[in-house]
Structure 1
Amino acid sequence: MNTLDRLLIANRGEIACRIMRTAQALGIECVAVYSDADRRARHVREADVAIALGGTKPAESYLNIDKVIAAAKASGARAVHPGYGFLSENATFARRLEAAGLIFIGPPASAIDAMGSKAAAKALMEVAQVPLVPGYHGEDQSYETFRAAAERIGYPVLLKPSAGGGGKGMKVVENEVGLAEGIESAQREARSSFGDARLLVEKYVLSPRHVEIQVFADQHGHCVYLHERDCSIQRRHQKVIEEAPAPGLTAELRQAMGEAAVRAAQAIGYVGAGTVEFLLDARGTFYFMEMNTRLQVEHPVTEAVTGLDLVAWQLRVARGEPLPLAQNQVPLRGHAIEARLYAEDPDTGFLPASGRLSVYEEPAAGVGRRVDSGVQEGDDISPFYDPMLAKLIAWGETREDARLRLIAMLAETTVAGVKTNRHFLQRLLGHEDFADARLDTGFIGRHEAVLLPPAEPLDDAFWQQAARLYLATSEKQTEPSPWAAPSGWRHARPAEAVLSLQCGEQQRLVAFDPTEPQARSMVGVRRGSALHLQWQGAQYEVHAADPLAQSSAAHAAPGSLAAPMNASVVSVLVAVGDHVAAGASLVVLEAMKMEHTLRAPRSGVVTAINCAAGDLVNEGAVLVAVEEVDNAA
């Protein structure tokens, strides 16, 4: 049996912190690695040892195999846990670790080869007569081959990176017109995220459920399934809400899917934690999608309903121990739901957000409450990595108990300094169709009008309550303002105060009675001169303002194309003097490992370009100017 006393975690963020929590509780010392952008990150602070990898982008740091192995050797680590993403499904990495005498906390490289490639996995399942979604999974990566395959299976089609998961690089193509652009974008994202640009194409199945089976195997030939998770609530092919068990599954269907997942794992000699993902249609027919040969982001909901620690199981299996439970001993109790808290702006198409967390407060601890996070107040959120801040997990005896508990946890969560999807998650969990478990992968798009309503103007009640709260917290203000002072006392009349406040682009001179009690519907936290508050579920930032000054917000000229977030420029697709149509692709940006194409706001001529490939640009920076002209082509 292998001795495992020091573990290097080749990852960052919440998963690195979560692995440390279990490993350190088992008496294992933990080594963190970090990029230049992460030198003050939480996972670095919580590790027993931290080693710099240098660089900022993943390819320069967390995806650099030579640097990770050198760090493991320098630290004296006996094993490496890859977490999820980055090198977690890289067979070369697993082989390099083995050659270096290090234990890889994951499956054999041969299993990663078999299932880590979506194309290879589908070919294997086809031989095993596992139902597959129609598609093309071959080696020929030419445009003509993809075009022919898409025409054969019928649009819409889904392009997917062959070498990875997590929604990175996945593109829905509605017709042949968008196929070439979709292939190029998917290949760039796949290369950036996984170091492999190969793609496969599948028929895009409309309105399925995404149900996955957690499997676990040891080195002695034993394999069990730890029930299923429903991960149907997705946006941009990335999971937002996950739950266990999947609502509405019969015991017979659960067993059939579980046994199929175990057969798939055993067919490739699998060892460790893995997840077999299926599409489930309304008739109860399931189709193999892929196998993720690693620990999943959503593993906490499985832990919640089984009472098991999957990271502890991973470490024990890596030491050569047998699985602690047989299939008929695996518990299933209650229901758990997980929400992913992202630094992103749902109001702008879920564009990722970066900046400093001026406020970060998690919900109170309690029975059935769990938070897996990778940040603390004051941390910087980098544009180079995945935008997840934390996972909030609620457990209850019933699904409704878990749902209501998770809504309460989100209400207690306060984040300021970067935009988040917190309010969106509250609306989603509160939607009647979610409450009734009417789930499929098109849920968010179908209910977009309710889940993403247009912003309402701030009413008088907001300004009155904000003013009282601002004044009540004024003793914490570090930058006194003459515009945030009470106006005086009036004989025989109620006291009155006047504040000039600004929230975003809105500014208001507010007269109010400071002696009135503060409404419980508004909760605020003061940091310096900024008041961060929640109002009707949404998060706002309020400042004292000079009523005589104009808004300092810069307004770009009509036709200007500004960066919607901090990002790096992948490519500029036009030149000065080009005639462009409204909606034409002008610039491709990359942020949080995802590509975003910026399109012309109107027809016209490109009159200025203020960026080039490789540039880092800040949110609001004008990148391209398009001037409207008569008869523009």
Structure 2
Amino acid sequence: MSSPQALVTRPDRAERGTPVAALITRVLVANRGEIAVRVVRACRTLGIESVVVYSEADRGSLAAQLADRSICIGAASASASYLDTDVVLAAALGSGCDAIHPGYGFLSENPTFARRCVEEGLAFIGPNPTIVGGTGDKAAAREIARTAGVPVLSGSDITDSPDAAVAAAVQIGFPVLIKAVAGGGGRGMSIVADEAELRRRLPTAIAEAAAAFGDGRIYVEKFIGRARHIEVQVIGDRHGTVVHVGERDCSAQRRHQKVIEESPAPDLTEATRAAIHAAAVRFSEAIELDSAGTVEFVYDSDTEEFAFLEFNARIQVEHPVSELVSGIDLVAEQIRMAAGLPLSFGQDDVTPTGHAIEARIMAESPERGFVPVPGTVTVWQPPSGIGIRVDSHCRPGTVISPYYDSMIAKVIAHAPTRDEAADRLIAALDELGVDGVPTTVAFNRFLLQNPAFRNAEVTTRWIDQSGAEEFCRTLEETT
């Protein structure tokens, strides 16, 4: 499926022992927040210069301060800055960069941007443009999975016809999901219970998909009532090697947005775990993966069967849990792959140790239905200690802008066992000092202590069906 990505340097220099800095010398970080900080630090580790772009709202950000150079690229709105391909490319070329790291979100899965990077002689630090474009289409990705022998859920062809959608849904069996072909990040999905609701919802779903993603195509897919979200971290190089770096469980979701992630996934048989890993590698080999990506699966808690969900052609928010259990720096490895180097490790070198759990800390008000609340962080005291990692762009004075995602930090704990990791993460959340904006710290603590989480019984709908309501009752009882 893939086509070779243009290299900034001669491919015959891309040998395992070649320093990355001899091939890529300066990276433009086309993102903001904690992932921009993370990429800058990876560049520093590799001896590579970093250039951070920022909007007017992010002037003085931590990433801009840490980078070797920073460039303002526009107004606060993402469309006038981080999503403006022309201005991002101009910043990269004007500052003498030879590579661009897009992080996650924004331009990270934009095939046109990836293609333009290559055309301008810039290494795109991510899968090549053909992969980005081909797997971003969910229906196309499903077909790739099916051809590669990876289990897929029953689903319809792409359609905008109510009659065709209803016919497919009847064959599949209600309830079903309406899914936007170009959707992502939990957006572009809705559950429908019967034919009448499907006919009523379909025109709205098409219009919403067109408005949100610029692509109104949809399809209908089997809905799993007690689903878990299992994903596999994969990475490949341009020399034909693809490996997995274990799996993550991201079932703790609110409104399709991940809240807590962990690795390894609990309560899986070793046979199922091995089958999921093998399926992820087969899919990745089918697309000739040449960077880091994630193969996502839905796992039916009742039947203990799994099926392909989607592929994300980028680094994930939750990559730290995979790094902690594997000891592999995935962002540095991404940069190595973009330089044309072979993977620095093989499948036999991936030996997961212990358990890691990540909590996303959002600037949101749980009391007000988790609405994002912008403001200025007046106190920021991150936790520390054995097995604790904090990925954040915050410090006292950091402005949480209404223009962007409300995540302010990821707190991750690593320990020998799952229970120890959960306890260690709770202690870290207790130690975290943050003021000036409301946060979801108490909600994360509630989830980590809840018997449903401790017993690995959380499904993707558990928070929306009962967890959030239970938490709100707890809040009322303590205030």
Same fold? TM cut 0.5: yes
Identity %: 48
Contact 1:89 1:164 in 2 (8 A): no
Query: 1:249 and 2:252 equivalent?
Result: no
How far the C-alpha of 1:148 sits from its partner, in A, is 5.0
What amino acid is aligned across from residue 402 of structure 1 in structure 2? A
DSSP 3-state at the match of 2:239: coil
- Identify which range, 80-89 or 124-133, moves more after superposition: 124-133
Aligned ranges 1:573-588 → 2 under 5 Å? none
Q: Distance in 1 between matches of 2:49 and 2:56?
A: 23
The CA deviation string for residues 176-217 of structure 1, in whole angstroms up to 9 with x for no partner, is 44765676467546744x554443332321111111111111
- In structure 2, the partner of 1:102 is 122
Deviation at 1:152, TM superposition (A): 4.8
Deviation at 1:380, TM superposition (A): 1.5
Indicate the SS of the match to 1:239.
strand
The structure whose residues are more often helix, as a share, is 2
Partner of 1:34: 54
1:65 maps to: 85
Aligned position for 2:5:
none
Whether the aligned pair in 1 keeps the contact of 2:224 and 2:300 (CA below 8 Å) is: no
Structure 2: runs of 5 or more not aligned: 1-13, 15-21
Match of 1:43 in 2: 63
CA distance in 2, matches of 1:136, 1:348: 38
Which structure would you say has the larger Rg? 1
Q: Which residue of 1 aligns with 2:72?
A: 52
Give the alignment of 1:425-436 within 5 angstroms. 425-436=444-455
Q: Mark the CA change 1:6 to 1:316 in structure 2 (over 3 Å): closer, same or farther.
A: same
Whether 2:173 is the aligned partner of 1:172: answer: no
Is residue 226 from structure 1 mapped to residue 226 from structure 2 by the alignment? no
2:421 equivalent to 1:402? yes
Measure the CA separation in 1 of the matches of 2:71 and 2:217.
32
- Which structure has more relative contact order (CA 8 Å, sep 6+)? It is 2
Counterpart of 2:6 in structure 1 is none
Show the counterpart of 2:44: 24
Q: Offset of 1:221 from its aligned partner?
A: 0.4
TM-score with structure 2 length normalisation?
0.89
Whether contact under 8 Å (2:26, 2:98) holds in the other structure is: yes
Three-state SS of the structure 2 residue aligned to 1:135 is coil
Query: Which amino acid letter does the alignment assign opposite residue 254 of structure 1?
Result: R
The answer (yes or no) to whether the contact 2:52–2:67 under 8 Å persists in 1 is yes
Pair 457,398 (structure 1): closer, same or farther in 2 beyond 3 Å = closer
Residues 434-453 of structure 1 aligned to structure 2 (within 5 Å): 434-444=453-463, 445-453=465-473
What is residue 8 of structure 2 aligned with on the other side?
none
CA distance in 1, matches of 2:288, 2:348: 22
CA distance in 2, matches of 1:314, 1:263: 20
Distance 1:278 1:55, change over 3 A: same
Which of these residues, 339, 345, 350, is aligned with residue 330 of structure 1? 350
Q: 1:115 aligns with which of 126, 135, 144?
A: 135
Cα distance change of structure 1 residues 454 and 151 upon mapping to structure 2, 3 Å threshold: farther
- Structure 2 distance, partners of 1:97, 1:48, is 21
Alignment of 1:29-428 (within 5 A): 29-138=49-158, 140-142=159-161, 145-146=164-165, 149-150=168-169, 152-174=171-193, 176-177=196-197, 180=200, 184=204, 187-188=207-208, 191-192=211-212, 194-282=213-301, 283-363=303-383, 365-428=384-447
Deviation at 1:106, TM superposition (A): 0.8
**Separation in structure 2 between the aligned mates of residue 85 and residue 141 of structure 1, nearest angstrom:** 27
**Which sections of structure 1, spanning at least 5 residues, go unmatched?**
460-633
Q: Is the 8 A contact 2:160 2:206 kept in 1?
A: no
Shift of the 31–179 alpha-carbon distance from structure 1 to 2, 3 Å rule, reads farther
TM-score, normalised relative to structure 1: 0.68
Aligned pair count reads 456
Structure 2 partner of 1:619: none
Q: Closer, same or farther in 2 for the Cα pair 1:55/1:146, shift >3 Å?
A: farther
Q: What SS is found at the alignment partner of 1:447?
A: helix
Alignment match, 1:552: none
State the partner residue of 1:475: none
- Paired residue secondary structure (1:53): strand
Richer in strand (by share): 1
| Aligned CA distance change for structure 1 residues 79 and 179 (closer, same or farther; 3 Å) | farther
Counterpart-to-counterpart distance in 2, 1:362 and 1:446: 30
Partner in structure 1 of residue 11 of structure 2: none
Cα distance change of structure 1 residues 419 and 41 upon mapping to structure 2, 3 Å threshold = same
Distance of aligned partners of 1:251 and 1:390 in 2 relative to their CA distance in 1, 3 Å threshold? same
